[in-house]
Each structure stands twice: as structure tokens, then as C-alpha cells.
Structure 1
């Protein structure tokens, strides 16, 4: 049986992992000609650190009781998480071509019943952190030292259920809960900062006021992401932890980065291969 993996790779190695995740997500999107690729490209650095630096897991035994759990509250980010799990060896690369098809283990929105390693069915949005609170409390009661990592979106900061979970986590002293907020300033109705979130540079203070240990970082700066994850895990403190990751939609593909960014990026049929070719010219060594 494989040993648990909590891999501490160099940041150069993690950059290559993130590059692979971006490239795999583009290959997957090309299958259907669509997908939430802007979010996948933006959050790839965070996923690389999660799966190849922070998480303790066994790729060949995704239900191992001692594993850290990674919850994808934002189910439409499934294309990003599948790419990370393919890179981690949890899912086989040869299933990539089935993405979004009938009977595929990789549906367009993440569903736990379909996919090994997919811990929860994400969306409707605003539910993931509540599930994470219950799971973290359950681990505590079983004396299981594993962590719960919950990846959620900035749009979910406008959901009342999120803040109920925020308060519950503090009440139960869930120091085994690490929440990751992907703050890319986009949600279905437009910019998150034009809705209910107060904006970049201010979210950490809000979470801290609720009683969390809060960090806010550039989610596309590998050094910053690694440092924040290390601090969150090592903290000797009864508070739950949150890392607000300010990310850039479509990171790594300049012609998409420069497009008028919306929640769902339209990529033309001939642009998938163009995007992959651009990534290939900038492959980390």
C-alpha cells in the first residue's frame, strides 16, 4: 500500500505542477468546447500547493480514513479539480476525453457520487463551508487529526449560510478547518466587489472580526501561497483559519487575460489549441 503523501516540493516543482494543471484543464475544455476555464487557470497555483505540498492523502486510496479532506464548495470549478486530481494520480489521464459526457466520472459540475476523490457535491453555492464545519467537528469527535480544506468562491461571501458556518466554526473551535477563498472578483451577476463582498484588501479583517485566523495573499504568487498554507496548518491556536487568495482569471494565457472578463469565459473553437501552444512556450523548467 502506498504511504501517505504530504509532499513538500520546491516552489519550482510546484510551478510545474500548476502549469500541468492549467494545460490539462485546457485539454479538458477543448473536449466540449466549453468549461469554467477562467477560474481553472486562475486557481491552478492554489490547487498545486494543496495537492503537492499541503494535503496528506493516498492517491490510490482516496477514501483512506487518515486523509485530509479537500472540499470543492464551488462545483462549477470541477474542471480545475479534475485537472489537479489527474496530476496527483487520483484520476487517470485517459479519462480526460470523457469530460462532460454521459456516464463520465468527470461531469461538468463536481458530484461526489461520480468521482473518486470528490468529497462533496458542490453547489448550490454557499453550502460547502457548512458541510466542512460539520465534517471538521466529526473528525474532532473521532480524534482524527486530519484537516478539512474548503475551497470556496468570493461570490459565496454574499450567502448568509456562509456566515452562519463562519460563526459555527469559531464556536466549536475548529482549528482543523482551513477555508480557502478564491477571490477573482467575478460572479454570475458581474464583479463581486459590486455585489456584497467589500473588496480586495478588506476581507481578512472581516473574517478576523468573526474570530478566524485570517490571511490575504496573491493567489498566483507561489511563494505566498506556500507560506500561507504552512502558517495555517502549523498555527497553535483554537481558531479556524482562512486564506483569501486574490487570483487573476485566465492566469497564464495572456490573450484570455486581456479579454473582457466575465464569469463564464467564451473560448472559440480555434482558441483552445492556441492557448495550449502559448502555455507550452512558457513551460517551467
Structure 2
């Protein structure tokens, strides 16, 4: 496949083509952040393979109908990787290349530094790390128990936020409620904002912790598209809440910044960005139409009856 081709990828696409999409997501993450002069390109590069496989083969979502209640939900808990999310939106045809390149992180425009619900494809704002998994648990509970919809919830989180207690409280609830419609992908790229993370690449330690909280752990190479595809297939088997522990490299694909400290939250200078785009194979024009959600079926409304309020007599001892 050449850089000049315009091709639409779908659920039956070959994995080498899906890898080409991952490279496109990397290129567009670099281009957008360099054009803006700010952003988190290296945090986006590490998770590009995960998101390319997900959106092409596993995310049941109609980009033209984001309000379809049967569609899957994708939560970017690591919201600072917004260049990657917006590159996905471009690949889906939801935003244009011009919007990505001229409005990202510009005042008054919708492609903000962290995604917000001003975008119809974003459920909620994820500016503070450590909250996305809890949001995902709530959405998954609502879908299964209240809305009775078939959607899955996919959450992308970073390894730094796995040090937050809220993450583990949420996973405890996912395990307790057996939320088999809930999957977390941990982007274990080893480097945080200022230095290595607590566990670095000790994926076995992450897996033990996940399993201790009642969820299923799948440890994979986060840059092997075949492993990613198999893990996502297993996660959707309806058996258990699943956490995919993906070992990745921050800045993957760009040798000058890959696995190097000091690049968190920094756009690549123009000359380095040009070299990075060339190293990644140049600008591509791939489009994605992934698996579509079924037509939504409204949940039955429970019949209402008279409400009897509690009554207390004066002098009753009540907790």
C-alpha cells in the first residue's frame, strides 16, 4: 500500500493494512501537535497500534450516528493523548484533515487539548487522570442493567494513572458486578511525566493486581497487531471484565524520541516532525468503517404504581 492511496478499512481488513492505519494515526498525531506547537505526541504514538486494531475490527460504532444507544463506548482516560483520538476521528471521516491541522488546541475550537463532550463522539471529559475507568464501569453497568443494550465499553488508560486509588476501586466494582461488557487497555509505555513509572514494564505485576480485584488480565505486546486482535477478541467473549496489559514504547516509531525521557507533553520541532513523518512512511489517506452496532431496541419501561413514603412516629429511634 502506497502513501498516496485512499483505501477504506473494515472488520475483514488484513492486519498489515491495520498496521498501516496505526502508522497513519502516528503521523497525524505528530502533524497536529507540531502544527499547534503543543500536545502529547509521544503518549499518542505508544497506543496507536491498540487503537488501530480496536477501531477497525472491534469497536461497534456508527460515526455518522453517535447517538445510537446500541453503539459501543470508547473512553480515553489518558485524555492528554488527544492527538491520537482526533487522528482516529479523521480516519473515521468525522473530522477533516484541515480541522485537525488548523484548529487543534486553538482557543475557541472544539479539538481541545483534552477531549470534551462538545464533540458528539466523546461521552465525557477526561482531563484528570485516574477517572476514566470509573466512568467506564458506570457506563457498562447502565448498559447491561438499565438500558439493556448490547454495547461494550472500552477504556484506554495510561500506566501512570494506574497509581491512582480510584482506578483500583473501579476495577473492584467491575469484578464484583462481573461486567463482561467492560474492557480496559493499559498503555504500559514505562515513562510518566517526569521519569519512569513505579512498575515500568513489569506487566506481570499489573496482571497480578488486576486479577486480585476480580478481573481477567491479558498481557500482550502492544505493538503486535495480531496479539492485540486476539486479546480484543477474547475480551469480547462475554465471560469476564477484562484488562489488557499492553507493553508499549513511548514515542514508538520515531527513533529520536522513542523510550527517551524529556519528551512528555512536548510537540516535536518542525524539523524533527518532518523526519518523524518520513520515518513513519509518510502521510496516508486511509479511512475506516469498522463493525456497525445493531439497531437499538428501547428498554421496556417498568410499570409505575403508587409510591408509599416511609412514616415515622414521634419518639421512634431511627438510624
TM-score, with length taken from structure 1: 0.90
Moved over 6 A (4+): none
Distance in 2 separating the partners of 1:62 and 1:6? 18
In the alignment, structure 1 residue 267 sits paired with structure 2 residue 271: no
2:123 equivalent in structure 1: 119
Higher relative contact order (CA 8 A, sep 6+): 2
1:217 equivalent in structure 2: 220
2:21 equivalent in structure 1: 17
1:207 equivalent in structure 2: 210
In the alignment, structure 1 residue 255 sits paired with structure 2 residue 261: no
Distance in 2 separating the partners of 1:217 and 1:68? 23
Question: Aligned pair in 2 of structure 1 residues 231, 190: CA closer, same or farther (>3 Å)?
Answer: same
**Are the aligned partners of 2:30 and 2:268 in contact in 1 as well (CA < 8 Å)?**
no
Distance in 2 separating the partners of 1:258 and 1:132? 29
Report SS of the residue matched to 2:172.
helix
2:232 equivalent in structure 1: 229
* 1:153 positional shift: 0.9
| Alignment match of 2:107 (pick from 89, 102, 105) | 102
1:244 equivalent in structure 2: 245
* 1:282 positional shift: 11
TM-score, with length taken from structure 2: 0.81
1:166 equivalent in structure 2: 171
Report SS of the residue matched to 1:181.
strand
- What's the CA shift string for 1:190-222, capped at 9, x where partnerless? 21136xx78333211211121111101110111
Larger helix proportion of the pair: 1
Question: Aligned pair in 2 of structure 1 residues 257, 214: CA closer, same or farther (>3 Å)?
Answer: same
1:27 equivalent in structure 2: 31
In the alignment, structure 1 residue 185 sits paired with structure 2 residue 185: no
